[in-house]
């Protein structure tokens, strides 16, 4: 069984309506290319001028402009949509969850993942400082769900640096890892492909990695290089910079072949909770 999947790359702005128009156009193009699952990048609907802009744009769980867009485009294009991240109202005042919502090809929401690891970092050799915990409250539950394409494991951006999260998803039977991101230009150049291919190889999974990719109106520069990787670590497609998408076949025959001929997942000796 083969299914074509796509990762959308954007250079999102502070204008939600404009971002949704761009996302809708790219999803339509990916659908015309044969994609049946499309993943959007982190912050696809809003890359604000300030960290706290997402507080103003937050939506209640189950209702809002961005959620309506995701449901509508999934149904219209008859494909599954992994909705990057959007700001969903949290439990703490003046904080939101960085939430990834998944919709099926009927436009029905089937799952929710809240980003677990928050990017509180001074980027080395730059003047860039990020404090996501100032505006985001962390999730605490990994997500693995069934889909027509296989078992999907969802993670977001900074989560990529924590292999124990991916091993947890592997133990839950994940076959495809979807990682919406907004990697900075500096950290992306150093580690993006390295980490993505490592997660694919060590878990013998496909990886679908949509990223933000360019110079944003707020002055931030993101790395791009959205890509799809097979379970042997082979990059099947990569989109370097600007708005666009990558598309590739997800082959269960290939997944099973790699896992059968190289059964590393069965050779683990140490298991940690």
Exactly one of 100, 115, 137, 247 is catalytic; which is it? 115
Q: Residues with Cβ < 8 Å from 65, sequence gap 6 or more?
A: 16, 20, 59
Summarize the confidence of residues 126-154 as an average pLDDT: 94
> What residues form DSSP beta bridges with 221?
215
42 given a catalytic annotation: yes
115 assigned to active site: yes
**Is position 193 annotated as part of the catalytic site?**
no
How many Cα neighbours within 13 Å face the side chain of 63? 1
* pTM assigned to the model: 0.97
What CA–CA distance (Å, rounded) separates 216 from 264? 41
pLDDT digit string, tens, across residues 144-199:
999 999 999 999 999 999 999 999 999 999 999 999 999 999 999 999 999 999 99
E-strand stretches of 132-270: 143-145, 152-154, 176-178, 206-209, 226-229, 235-239, 244-251
* pLDDT score of 273 more than 70: no
Out of 3.30.420.40, 3.10.530.10, 3.60.110.10, 3.60.70.12, which CATH number does the structure's domain 2-263 have? 3.60.110.10
Closest by CA to 47, choosing from 6, 93, 11, 83, is: 11
Structure confidence at residue 1 (pLDDT):
56
Token pair belonging to 156: 């977001």
What pLDDT does residue 69 have? 98
Which member of 5, 157, 205, 247 is catalytic? Answer: 157
């Amino acid at each position: 069984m083969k299914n074509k999947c796509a990762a959308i790359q954007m250079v999102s702005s502070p204008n939600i309506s404009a971002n949704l128009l761009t996302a809708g156009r790219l999803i339509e193009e990916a659908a015309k290319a044969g994609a049946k699952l499309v993943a959007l990048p982190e912050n696809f609907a809003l890359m604000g001028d300030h960290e706290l802009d997402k507080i103003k744009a937050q939506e209640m769980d189950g209702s809002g402009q961005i959620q309506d867009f995701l449901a509508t485009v999934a149904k219209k294009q008859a494909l599954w949509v992994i909705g990057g991240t959007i700001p969903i109202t949290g439990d703490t005042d003046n904080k939101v969850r960085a939430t990834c919502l998944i919709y099926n090809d009927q436009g029905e929401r089937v799952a929710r993942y809240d980003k677990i690891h928050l990017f509180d970092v001074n980027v080395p050799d730059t003047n860039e400082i990020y404090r996501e915990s100032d505006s985001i409250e962390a999730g605490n539950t990994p997500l693995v769900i069934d889909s027509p394409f296989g078992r999907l494991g969802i993670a977001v951006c900074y989560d990529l640096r924590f292999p124990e999260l991916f091993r947890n998803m592997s133990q839950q039977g994940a076959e495809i890892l979807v990682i919406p991101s907004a990697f900075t230009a500096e950290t992306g150049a150093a580690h993006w492909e390295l980490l993505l291919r490592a997660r694919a190889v060590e878990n013998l999974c496909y990886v679908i990695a949509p990223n933000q990719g360019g110079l944003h109106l707020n002055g931030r520069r993101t790395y791009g290089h959205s890509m799809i990787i097979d379970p042997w670590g082979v990059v099947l497609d990569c989109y370097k910079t600007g708005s666009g998408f990558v598309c590739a076949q997800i082959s269960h025959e290939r997944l099973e072949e790699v896992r059968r001929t190289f059964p590393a997942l069965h050779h683990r000796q140490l298991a940690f909770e």
